[in-house]
């Protein structure tokens, strides 16, 4: 799975929370926020660090939406 596909399942508010946790600007619409997180990942930030910036319930909700078992 591509990170952007997972992020598409997150709410815009969830993305804003993660952006805040990563120290990135919160502005823009949902596609802008997804692009900013993906760019941060491609710049060398680990998947673990990206996912840790989200609230647990936000990751669980998105995981269920993409069909990850046990989420």
- For 4-37, how does the pLDDT look when each residue is reduced to its tens digit (9 = 90+)? 999 999 999 999 999 999 999 999 999 999 999 9
- In the chain, where are the structural domains located? 3-65
Report pTM: 0.90
DSSP state string for 8-70: HTS-HHHHHHHHHHHT----S-HHHHHHHHHHHHHTT--HHHHHHTS-HHHHHHHHHHTT-TT
């Amino acid at each position: 799975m591509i990170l952007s596909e997972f992020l598409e399942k997150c709410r815009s508010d969830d993305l804003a929370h993660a952006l805040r946790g990563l120290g990135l600007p919160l502005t823009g619409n949902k596609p802008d926020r997804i692009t900013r997180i993906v760019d941060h990942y491609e710049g060398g930030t680990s998947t673990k660090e990206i996912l840790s910036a989200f609230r647990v319930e936000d990751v669980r909700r998105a995981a269920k939406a993409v069909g990850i078992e046990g989420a």
